[in-house]
Structure 1
Amino acid sequence: MKKLLTVLLISVMMLSLAACGGKQEEGRKIGGTLIIGNTTEMTGDWITIFSNIATDNEVLNLISGYSTVDLTFDGEYVINETAVKDYKRIENADGSITYEFEINKGLKYSNDVEITAKDYVAGILLWNSKFIADLGGTNTGSFRLVGHDSYSKGETKEFAGVRLLDDYKFSVTIDAAYLPYFYELPLVGYGPEYLPFWLGDSVDVADDGNGAYFTVEVTKEDFEDIFTAARNNPKYVSSGPYVVEEYDVASKQVTLKINPNFKGNYEGQKPSIETVILKLVNQDTMMDELRTGQVDLLYGVVAGDTIQAGHDLVESGIGISYNAYPRSGYGKIHFVADHGPTQFKEVRQAVAHLINRTEFIQAFAKGYGSVVHGPYGEGQWFYQETRQELLSKVNEYPYSLEAAKKLLDEGGWNLDANGKPYTGEGIRHKMVGEELMPLVIKWFGSANNQFTDLLAIRLLQNPDIEAAGMKFEQTVGDFGELINWYTRTGGEQYTVPTYHMFNLATSFTPIYDLQRSYKPGDRVNYNRIADEELYNLAVKLVNRPATDREGFKKDFVNFIVRWNELLPDIPLYSNTLHDFFNEKLKDWGLTANIRLVHAILYAYIEE
């Protein structure tokens, strides 16, 4: 606890220093190179509607800008006045709310093409189109806007809730069915999209009064090839602070340069670091790379042994510094609930009783983390303010072979391989329909990952697993392969339900809205769980005015209690994240409230 308090105080102090920087300081030179190490493989396909790989998303953030809504260092959403000249919030008679934006003139992409209102509308139309769904992507990003359902299904060519008003004005209307909403302002945060890059020059945007639309029908048959070619070209046209200069597929390394046309974030902050390189590093050797200058920054470090090695570098006096902050997320065992043994909650609960999570987090985080009991992290305000109440209401699933056996018996896992009563020997079976299902859980874990290795010891080498009558079959592969199986995208073979369990981690933005994550049948319900009560609690949590913090906290507890019973994941840890970096990097202030791009904007290199 003392260690955690110390790093929290350090984080607060560093954040205060960074937040005081304001706009780019006079005399700060543009220059230098920042080499950032990341243990997650990138794909070069930066858009996140087909998968959700964190490193790809970081690159996308670096090349995207001028959103109508921006994020401050405090995790607050504000109107981006660099992009928006003026805006109106209009409460309509039917209960819907319209935001009308006027975009500043003079904004340009990296290719010198001027940005207009059409570009903002084009992005909304493209990423919510049936075309995207037909390609296997998620087209529900704007599902709260009026007319989304019919537009996204291709039933109407117009998107009724999106209007192109003139060259520099557009509007979006939030459907009354989704109001009030705790995070209303971020709902209308949209950035420009250079449409010719994705669809060529034949498609334009128009509006005849019934909603914006594409002037050409965009179908898979006609546009898949050009769109796929764009996805395979990592040098997207940029509206953000950086442009991709080079991506090396073999080494999984991307080099970005400053976009000279970028006018800044919501307060005009422009980047000072001329070159940013993101490269793949191995968790076992990345501190050696930092020590020898092969990388300049390792951010979001989670493993305790690695953190300790980083602190050893700091104390060695070779010019290494660090930043620490509580995580808004958690590491987990992720269950799939639409096939196999893990579709039954008794199995998920039994597995939880067979993992000593307190011991696991000590082995993994070495005192830089804690056990959590739901989808949240130590850094989130609503958990911090409800912690005691929450802990009094959840099942902590203490280690217990007997509890695991009891749950399996109650769940009907009381037969052997011949359909006779289970006597305690071999694998348990359950009659599902007319077939016996063995209690064998197929698990896919990512390679070169301490999390995977530690979990394997506890699941593959624990005699109590066999004593409980279950078995784990592990497959190890690269992270991209894991994501394909996890999302069931990336090829026809991945659409076949195969694995019951994955190990990975997740982090939350300041928008804590899990409706789609637990909506039965939703594309991003990767647990594939179908529980209406859980979904309704997720909906209720955010369907309130932004001022109702007390109600939010109350319903957060209710949501977690139900989640904790169903246990779609086993949360294994939430931890204190660490960044270790060469002291040439100045004003570094990454926190759990912001993304990598926000910290880079305010930092600089001093050789």
Structure 2
Amino acid sequence: MNKLQRFLCLLLSVLLLTQAPLLAMAEATEDAAGLPEELIVGHPTVTKGDFFTELFGNDTADIDVRALIHGYNLVNWDQNQGTYVFDPSVVQTIGPVEVDELGNHTYKMIIYDDLYYSDGTPITAWDYAFSILLMMSPEIEAIGGKIYRAEHLMGYDDYIATRKKILAGEELTDDDVRSLSGVEVHSDHEIWFHLDADFLPYFFETGLLLTVPYPISVIAPGCKVYDDGFGIYLGNADPYTEEPVFTPELLKKTILDPETGYNSHPSVVSGPYKMVSWDAATGEGHYEINPYFKGAWMHNNLPGPDYSGPVNYVQVMDIDNETPKLDANGQEIWLVKPTIEKIKFVVADNDTMMQQLADGELHLVNKVTYGPTILDGLQNGRDKGIAYQNYRRIGLAFLTFTYDWPTVHDMEVRQAIAWCMDRDLLGALYCGSEDGGQTFALRVDGYYGMEQWEYKLLSGELSYPVNFLDQVTLPQVQVKDGEEEDLTKKYKNRYVETQEDYEKAVAAWEALAKEWGDKLVKYTVDLSKAKKLLEKAGWTLNRNGEPFQEGTDDVRCKKMEDGSIVALDLTLMYPAGNHMAELMQTAVRSETNISAREGSPEPDADAGSFVDNLARVGIKLTLVPTPMEELLKSYYRQTERTTDMIYLATNFHVIVDPSITYSTDTTKNHEIWNNTYSDDEELWIDAKAMRKTEPGDIFEYVSKWVTFQERYNEVLPTIPIYSNVYFDFYNENLQNYYITGQVTWSQAILPSYFALENEPAAEEDGEFESFDD
């Protein structure tokens, strides 16, 4: 594995993290040996019921359920190669990328003929085509979903314009494009994708083809996907039916019905497990093995030569059905089927989950963040039969703003709020001991998490990806359009031929890392700066429109262009029961809690709590506890915002593309994904530049990533607070569970099983990362 492969394998997926109250849970039955027959998994966040796609919400617990019940994605993340590849359990053959004279890219693939849904229905290329058309359809948007923006596919804009005319009941003309030319289905098992040259280059290009199959018979009964030679389109299954069957009314019933809709009760699925039941009132879900599942590609959970355990491994054979199929590294490809028959997924409370693990009411708790709970598990878990593993987060906790409100629209107001927050203290206390002396959190100053490969590269935790050409498997030159292409020139500071060039490339990386370290503002408590920023932005009046008098008036106000007086009387929504709210109101540095860590800024000596600091500069803050489901609806703009700010956390997708998250393009409907409603044009331009990088050009991509982070750090569409180390605690009889090699527990659980004999964990107990004073 070369250096690029080693460091790129650190990417993981985005998720939202928060806390929620514990709900009642029944004990599992046990077999004759006293081992559980059903795995009970607890998560600090209650499931919301968005088990279909992220189009209707993206709660972290719901994401885990999706990974459990949906499978056979065309593309998967290969941690061995450190890149996206076509899943060898799904894609049987894939030809070389074809590039036409305009620069459009074409991918032609054949999928296996042994893929089935949980009801035994075959999965074909038509199912993948339906998924693509469904996710981008205006009908999804009409029922409240956030449609998939497939701008990378040729013909997307013209096709969507036609679909909108159909939805509006307008008559079509000969000029209207009825088919999506970017996707073609050539047989039940052959599908082609055409990527638009105008969208390219794209750094994670193969990842653009991520597609999960969904059953048209369940979601859009009476509809059919066609391809008449010009691309795919949706139509009526019965050609003699004139009125369109595919309508918002149909989808509202089949997807959003609270009792039978596919969003909350997906009945026919493609993943390793299928849903048995889900209770909307408690968030409790029951799942059992999908008997038609052929197996998941588990590249880092291969059976050893002497393996004799109960895990069901299946070897993938080549097209001749006799020779083992090999991956890009020459390794045999194996699939794994789940062993644990039943799973119950419930919400677990930080304050009681360790006792529930000890009592057998839970067998696994995932993504534990709260410090006192972690320390309880580390100090007392072994004696109670509790094991653990830890792994660094690829996301962060943050404050997001209702950007379009006048109270927080000024950049100076957001910066002033940041200068009132001791982020080191809040992260240390929330994710560590009561005195903050031992913590599993790290302050972050941008839009990144501590496990993100760009951050680890620039902070010196990973070697710079500079390779001598004779040390890599790539040829010295590549042929493009009949001409040789010099890799030392194509990829800046990546491939070299001499020691002198190597030293120059490393020096360039070191300079970039220094820029990264020097330019990001390390906001901490500095009330003088906060006051000056507020005054600069015109927040100099009191509620009566008179000059603000510090010590007399409660809040600063500003006269708007329409003559109205707006006060900095702010509200902050947070997940009900989350302990961070207490810390925001009470946490103050003292001699008995944390002191400044190396590289951390010193706050004002007389700094108070976050809420008190805000009050001292003329900002009043009221914290509003809100049930998680309501908070997420507000965050995703599914309901009207009622507060100036929201506290929550997120985990990133493997593809981190903020060009949509912070888009200011109102012509492309991007604003539905811009949850802050940020209108900073420069931030969006920087995000787009990062995306449009040639795959493999690592230095160029990271350079653009630094530029984006610097702008984010300045305008603060959100205030980053901390990233952290996650902990999974589990019953010691749960064997072969290796969360560190997977994206979610839903994947890590597939090769796991219950057994009395204890096997060593991926990371031995007692070895964990913390940040001490």
TM over 0.5, shorter chain:
yes
State the match for 1:238 in structure 2. 269
Q: CA deviation at 1:577?
A: 0.9
Q: Where do residues 202-217 of structure 1 align in structure 2 (5 Å cutoff)?
A: 202-216=222-236, 217=244
Amino acid across the alignment from 1:118: W
Q: Where do residues 473-552 of structure 1 align in structure 2 (5 Å cutoff)?
A: 473-489=622-638, 494-495=639-640, 497-520=641-664, 521=666, 522=670, 523-552=672-701
Whole-angstrom distance in 2 between the partners of 1:131 and 1:457: 48
Which of these residues, 509, 525, 535, is aligned with residue 409 of structure 1? 535
State the match for 1:104 in structure 2. 112
State the match for 2:524 in structure 1. 398
Aligned residue for 2:521, secondary structure, equals coil
User: Contact 2:611–2:621 (CA<8 Å) still a contact in 1?
Assistant: no
Name the CA shift for 1:147/1:562 in 2 (closer, same or farther; >3 Å). same
User: Contact 2:542–2:557 (CA<8 Å) still a contact in 1?
Assistant: yes
Aligned residue for 1:151, secondary structure, equals helix
User: Contact 2:440–2:725 (CA<8 Å) still a contact in 1?
Assistant: yes
Unaligned runs of 5+ in 2: 1-9, 11-34, 165-176, 237-243, 298-333, 433-438, 460-512, 588-607, 757-773
Does 1:146 find its partner at 2:166? Answer: no
Q: CA deviation at 1:454?
A: 2.1
State the match for 1:472 in structure 2. 621
- 1:133-180 CA-to-partner distances (Å, cap 9, x unmatched) read 111211124232112223334254322211121111111221112211
User: Contact 2:577–2:625 (CA<8 Å) still a contact in 1?
Assistant: no
Q: CA deviation at 1:298?
A: 1.1
Aligned residue for 1:176, secondary structure, equals coil
- 1:33-60 CA-to-partner distances (Å, cap 9, x unmatched) read 3211111111223122011111111111
Greater alpha carbon shift after TM alignment, 431-440 vs 228-237: 228-237
User: Contact 1:73–1:594 (CA<8 Å) still a contact in 2?
Assistant: no
Unaligned runs of 5+ in 1: 1-11, 13-29
Which of these residues, 440, 444, 464, is aligned with residue 368 of structure 1? 440
Whole-angstrom distance in 1 between the partners of 2:150 and 2:578: 35
Aligned residue for 2:287, secondary structure, equals strand
State the match for 2:87 in structure 1. 80
Q: CA deviation at 1:232?
A: 5.9
Which of these residues, 534, 553, 558, is aligned with residue 430 of structure 1? 558
Aligned residue for 1:77, secondary structure, equals strand
Identical aligned pairs, as a percentage? 31
Name the CA shift for 1:461/1:57 in 2 (closer, same or farther; >3 Å). closer
- 1:19-43 CA-to-partner distances (Å, cap 9, x unmatched) read xxxxxxxxxxx99432111111112
Aligned residue for 1:358, secondary structure, equals helix
Aligned residue for 2:350, secondary structure, equals coil
Q: TM-score, normalised by structure 1?
A: 0.90
Aligned residue for 1:311, secondary structure, equals helix
Q: Where do residues 150-161 of structure 1 align in structure 2 (5 Å cutoff)?
A: 150-153=158-161, 154-155=163-164, 156-161=177-182
Whole-angstrom distance in 1 between the partners of 2:744 and 2:695: 22
Greater alpha carbon shift after TM alignment, 157-166 vs 290-299: 157-166
User: Contact 1:427–1:439 (CA<8 Å) still a contact in 2?
Assistant: yes
Name the CA shift for 1:532/1:131 in 2 (closer, same or farther; >3 Å). same
Amino acid across the alignment from 2:380: L
Q: Where do residues 106-121 of structure 1 align in structure 2 (5 Å cutoff)?
A: 106-121=114-129
Whole-angstrom distance in 1 between the partners of 2:47 and 2:225: 32
Which of these residues, 59, 69, 86, is aligned with residue 53 of structure 1? 59
Does 1:228 find its partner at 2:256? Answer: yes
Whole-angstrom distance in 2 between the partners of 1:223 and 1:370: 44
Aligned residue for 2:147, secondary structure, equals coil
Amino acid across the alignment from 1:349: Q
Amino acid across the alignment from 2:42: G
State the match for 1:68 in structure 2. 74
State the match for 2:399 in structure 1. 333
User: Contact 2:55–2:148 (CA<8 Å) still a contact in 1?
Assistant: no
Name the CA shift for 1:453/1:231 in 2 (closer, same or farther; >3 Å). farther
- 1:238-292 CA-to-partner distances (Å, cap 9, x unmatched) read 1110000111223211111111111112331211221122101112111111121
State the match for 1:306 in structure 2. 373
User: Contact 2:44–2:368 (CA<8 Å) still a contact in 1?
Assistant: no
Amino acid across the alignment from 1:199: A
Q: Where do residues 258-337 of structure 1 align in structure 2 (5 Å cutoff)?
A: 258-266=289-297, 267-315=334-382, 317-337=383-403
User: Contact 1:291–1:313 (CA<8 Å) still a contact in 2?
Assistant: no
Which of these residues, 705, 709, 730, is aligned with residue 556 of structure 1? 705
Higher fraction of helix: 1
State the match for 1:447 in structure 2. 576
State the match for 1:352 in structure 2. 418
Q: CA deviation at 1:222?
A: 4.9
Whole-angstrom distance in 2 between the partners of 1:601 and 1:468: 53
Amino acid across the alignment from 1:272: T
Whole-angstrom distance in 2 between the partners of 1:578 and 1:203: 45
Q: CA deviation at 1:601?
A: 2.0
State the match for 1:41 in structure 2. 46
Q: CA deviation at 1:597?
A: 2.5
Q: TM-score, normalised by structure 2?
A: 0.71
User: Contact 1:99–1:172 (CA<8 Å) still a contact in 2?
Assistant: yes
Aligned residue for 2:343, secondary structure, equals strand
Whole-angstrom distance in 2 between the partners of 1:50 and 1:99: 29
